[in-house]
Amino acid sequence: MGVREMASGAQRRGRRIMMTDAEVDAFLAGARTCRVATVGADGGPHVSALWFAWDGTSLWLYSIVRSRRWTNLRDDPRISVLVDDGDGYDELRGVELSGVAVPVGEAPRTGEPNDELNAVERLFAGKNFGLDAMPHDGRHAWLRLTPESVVSWDFRKMADAQDRAK
């Protein structure tokens, strides 16, 4: 099942430029940094950059537990995450994932055995640190976002469509 079938919020516009499930998977697997939006106690938005891992189903965030992001998500678990790329207009592409962030494992993470985290920690450590095992500093913990809504775009497809129309 593709990421869009799992998410209940279907993309309504921009179908010509939306990514396929395979393109979303490849894009998220290759990207390192996302922008995480949370809602503060006063109702205001808070956006911060964070490294992540994508396992094909969920986006995993390794967050400092004393951060404003963690506090916001503890009080209101709604989250929106943006991963984007490109400099010129015709190069822009990205994926927005929205849903509820769920803490997984102990907080902060000290490295206690956890079957649910084994694969994601290997993935994250390899992608972001070039390591086989996850280093734990006792300040971070895992958040899992299994998206309820996924929106994607790839403006490079507009140029492809224009080239085909010629």
Lowest-confidence region among 74-78, 129-133, 162-166: 162-166
The percent of residues in the chain predicted with pLDDT above 70, rounded, is: 88
Q: Is the pLDDT of residue 4 over 90?
A: no
Q: What local confidence, expressed as pLDDT, does residue 1 receive?
A: 47
- The first and second tokens of residue 101, run together, are 């962030």
**pLDDT tens for each residue of 79-101:** 999 999 999 999 999 999 999 99
- DSSP for residue 9: B
Q: Which residues contact 115 (CB under 8 A, 6 or more apart)?
A: none
Confidence at residue 10, expressed as pLDDT on a 0 to 100 scale: 54
The H or E element spanning position 39 is: strand 33-39
Write down the pLDDT at residue 14. 74
The average confidence (pLDDT) of the chain is 90
State how many domains the chain has.
Answer: 1
- The parent domain of residue 124 ranges over 3-165
The answer on pLDDT for 6 being more than 60 is no
What pLDDT does 164 receive? 55
Q: Are strands 33-39 and 78-85 parallel, antiparallel or unpaired?
A: antiparallel
Sequence length of the chain is: 166
Query: Domain of 113: which CATH number?
Result: 2.30.110.10
| Cα maximum dimension of the chain | 59
Average of pLDDT values for 3-21?
A: 68
